Structure 1
Amino acid sequence: MTYLSPEQFADAQKANIDATYRFANEAFNGFEKLVSLNLKTIRTSLDVQAARWQSALSGNGMQAFFEVPPGTEPLAERIAAYNRQVFEILASAQAALAEQAGAQYQREARKVQTGIDEAAKSGPVGSEAAVAALNSMIHATNSWYDSLFKTARQAVETAESNMNVVANTAKRAQSATPHAAAGRK
């Protein structure tokens, strides 16, 4: 039977702390990007509202308040762009975390497999069936993890595709609105 030496235990703890730090750092980077995007969005909204008020109060009438200021994207496009950027930030963070989790999983799986192989070498006669069962369990777990990872990736791709469809529909609806309003005058 093998026991962990103090050095092996310390190395394992260092590896776990390192992995935890990488996860936390990636999560913080994603949070930082979201905060930056939200501050930028608030700044843009304040600038647009200020331009609308300035236009309305400078003799252009209240109708000017409801018009899109020159050099500014229409609201639907700004919302679509914001949603796209949020999605990109979240997808990027999810991909980085999933990659790190996959790498950590692979390292741990190799350690377990090595431990099983070492135990099999020094195991009693007749333990081959137990070792085979453990190897089968590890293989099944690896297959399950791979399918889970692929499913998560497909879900992100589907969500991105759906978001693009909604954004394009909103953009077309926004661009069609001025033409419909002009036809009613």
Structure 2
Amino acid sequence: MTPWSAEQIAAAQQANLAIVLGLTNKAIEGFERLVQLNLQAMKSTLTETRENTQKALSAEDQQELLALQASMIPQIGEKALLYQRQLIEIGTATQAEIAKVAEAQYEAHSRRMQELVDNLANSTPAGSENAVGALTSVMTATNKFCEAMYQTAKQAVEVAEQSLGAASHAASKAGKQAIEHTSRAAKA
């Protein structure tokens, strides 16, 4: 005999479906933001390429062409760094939304497991206390194991985010230095 009724099982299935659909929507929203960012980058790149090509074609001598190229280098670097920051923001925001849903579901699962253990303990016949106690111990240990795994995964995500932020900052700083160096060399 199962401790859950057909209605409870159906409700749990509906709740799980809602979770999956919610997570899918969050992932799609992140993907949409990424597509918008890429479309915006492509449009601005095409516009700038057209403008820069027209300027290059209208250059009267090689010095003017070199000066034009030198003036474009810092702009290209700055735009690349801006794109990188926006890309990281989209990824971080999407991951944070998914993590919120996952955390809420983990907490709900923990409560449901405790309710299941309590219901099982209350609905068993007399004399089965040892079996219920063993099952309760197994479920409690499993729940603690899941909690430890969840905390480990959460810490891994936090470390990855910090590493990505540090790498982004270092790349940004190195990029700015390279742009400045190239710009100075082109002017010399």
Same fold (TM over 0.5): yes
**Could you tell me which residue of structure 2 aligns to residue 105 of structure 1?**
106
Aligned ranges 1:12-161 → 2 under 5 Å: 12-61=12-61, 63=65, 66-68=69-71, 74-123=75-124, 124-127=128-131, 128-161=133-166
Cα drift, residue 120 of structure 1:
2.5
**Could you tell me which residue of structure 1 aligns to residue 168 of structure 2?**
163
TM-score of the aligned structures, taking structure 2 as reference length? 0.85
What is the CA–CA distance in structure 2 between the aligned matches of 1:79 and 1:168, rounded to whole Å? 12
Runs of 4+ displaced beyond 6 Å? none
The 8 Å contact of residues 52 and 67 in structure 1, kept in 2 or not, is answered as no
Pair 1:57–1:82, CA change in 2 (3 A) = same
Structure 1, 35-44 or 130-139: larger mean CA deviation: 130-139
What is the CA–CA distance in structure 1 between the aligned matches of 2:162 and 2:141, rounded to whole Å? 32
Cα drift, residue 84 of structure 1:
1.4
Cα deviation, 1:104-140, whole Å, max 9, x if unaligned, reads 1221221112101222334413232332232122112
The 8 Å contact of residues 26 and 94 in structure 2, kept in 1 or not, is answered as yes
| Residues matched between the structures, number | 181
Pair 1:93–1:44, CA change in 2 (3 A) = same
Percent identity of the aligned residues?
Answer: 28
**Could you tell me which residue of structure 1 aligns to residue 184 of structure 2?**
179
The higher relative CO (CA closer than 8 Å, separation ≥ 6) is in: 2
Cα deviation, 1:137-159, whole Å, max 9, x if unaligned, reads 21122122112112212211211
What is the CA–CA distance in structure 1 between the aligned matches of 2:117 and 2:3, rounded to whole Å? 14
TM-score of the aligned structures, taking structure 1 as reference length? 0.87
Pair 1:33–1:159, CA change in 2 (3 A) = same
Pair 1:67–1:55, CA change in 2 (3 A) = farther
Cα deviation, 1:64-110, whole Å, max 9, x if unaligned, reads 662435xx962121111111111110111111112111211221221
Pair 1:173–1:47, CA change in 2 (3 A) = same
What is the CA–CA distance in structure 1 between the aligned matches of 2:98 and 2:122, rounded to whole Å? 36
What is the CA–CA distance in structure 1 between the aligned matches of 2:94 and 2:180, rounded to whole Å? 33
Amino acid at match of 1:182: K
